[in-house]
Chain A
């Protein structure tokens, strides 16, 4: 069985501060890992993905994530957030198993 756990349902952070959104997964097979962003009333946009190779993955909008196999984690980070980063972020494993999402709220 495969599952994804996003430990934080909401993360408030001040503008220009760093942020980390946590994601842990469980899978008995090889994994492909994804982070998506969803703005209100919109579909999902791919931020970044890990398929193989380097464990540090860089995505769009300044986001990056690190695959840690021993800790079964794929945490998303950004060194300095903007107001426009306010959205819902979803971690997914193997394409279609999604976490419950983390709402990032960037405060002015």
Chain B
């Protein structure tokens, strides 16, 4: 099956620093990648959708200057949390879809837990 990896799996940083999270599709070319945020005991909240080579589309209420998304290739998307603060602490999950699939099925990464001190 299609595999998506995320790196790092866990990161702890000081307030004010920027954190980059990578999302890679390992055995397929990802047409589209999605970034989600999940608060404890809550559902996934879609943050943005990115297509290779174009600007990400952000959901309402998500600060594009705060959460910078780059989808440089068909196998890599990055999320950079700029000047992170404690309220940015969360579980960030990426997913990817494959061009050949027309059913909206997403393949999820294992997630990255961000803790901002």
Contacts and interface: CB of A to CB of B under 8 A. Distances in A.
A32 B43 contact: no
A68 B44 CA distance: 24
Contact of A100 (B43, B46, B91, B104): B43
Contact of A42 (B34, B103, B105, B110): B110
Contact of B105 (A49, A99, A101): A49
A83 interface: no
A90 B44 contact: yes
B109 A43 contact: yes
Looking at chain B's contact residues, the main secondary structure is strand
Interface residues of A, number: 21
Interface bin, chain B:
20 to 34
A46 B111 CA distance: 15
Interface of A: 32, 34, 36, 41-46, 49, 51, 90, 94-101, 103
Interface of B: 4, 6, 34, 41-44, 46, 49, 91, 93, 95, 97, 103-106, 108-111, 113
